[in-house]
Amino acid sequence: MKRFDRDGRLIIPLMRRKKHTKQAEETKVRYVLTEAYCPKGCTIIDHEHKINGEPGLRIKFKRYDSEGEFVLSAIEGDFDKIILSGELKEGVKDELYCPHCGVMFKKLINCECSEDADMVLLGLTPELDLNNAIAFCNVTGCTNGASIRSGDIIRHVRLWGQF
């Protein structure tokens, strides 16, 4: 098998690359949030309710026919929840609020999962800083989410228009 094409570029067979990528994803480190704040600076880490052994993120939700609270996993890529009150519906958008002061979480951009979905922000510092935050969709069941570090996600949104 040839290692280089006639222009001198390295040939990497697609199957090898995919296999390597899959291996990298399986060994990916997951981060656990130890701090998360509403736009006014209230901590939303809930030490009382643990999901997969870690304190979760307590969030209040409202929509036209229901309201309540849930705890979302603080582990990156884990969207497990504990419903404390009310009822979440799969595929339905909810407005998300701080359970302590009632302020609505800021919206960064629309999510691609549905027409009215939004990516909402949780700060990793008491004062909301777009360079240190997490964003996730406010539609139950959507797994779009991202950690924002040093403006990387902002640049991505400006270039590509989505997460």
Closest to 107 measured CA to CA, from 127, 81, 85, 133: 133
Give dist(CA 129, CA 137) in Å, integer: 18
Residues 10-20 have pLDDT tens digits of 555 554 444 44
Please check whether residue 80 is in contact with residue 49, taking contact to mean a CB–CB distance below 8 angstroms. no
Q: Give 77's pLDDT tier (boundaries 50, 70, 90).
A: confident
Between the two ends of the chain, the Cα-to-Cα distance in Å is: 38
* pLDDT above 70 for 32: yes
pTM, to two decimals: 0.72
**Residue 100, pLDDT score:** 96
Return the minimum-mean-pLDDT range out of 54-58, 70-74, 102-106, 112-116.
Answer: 112-116
Please check whether residue 55 is in contact with residue 72, taking contact to mean a CB–CB distance below 8 angstroms. no
Residues 121-161 have pLDDT tens digits of 888 889 988 778 888 889 988 887 665 554 555 554 554 44
Mean predicted lDDT score pLDDT of the chain: 79
Give the start-to-end residue ranges of the domains of the chain: 32-160
- Say which residue, 14 or 34, is predicted with more confidence: 34
